[in-house]
Amino acid sequence: MSTTLYGFKSCDTVKKARKWLDDRSVAHTFFDYRVTPLNEATLNDWFDRAGWQSVLNRNSTTFKELPEAEKAAIDEEWARKNILAETNLIKRPVLDTGSALLFGFKADAYEKAVSG
């Protein structure tokens, strides 16, 4: 499987991850889910491999603006439905090497993921 970086191009953290990959000549595809909708099969794969809690971005403005009662009732079904409708709820960027699945950008974790 090839390496794919998911996010949207205007995100500063996504920009850092893309630059890091490019600077190290890591072959990858960039999937901008603001241009092309994320499909449910991809999201289900992430949930299966990492758990829905790892995918959900609780630090996003979108999440923080939710009513407290809604936040307290979040479960996998809610996360799946709402992440597909509002991709700001995804921790970004997402790096999928086929064997590694990383959320967010940490250079040391990326180094390990792309070299292993």
Catalytic residues, by residue number, are 11
Calpha distance 26→72 (Å, rounded): 40
Angle at 105 between CA 55 and CA 109, to 5 degrees: 100
Calpha distance 16→20 (Å, rounded): 6
Calpha distance 16→96 (Å, rounded): 16
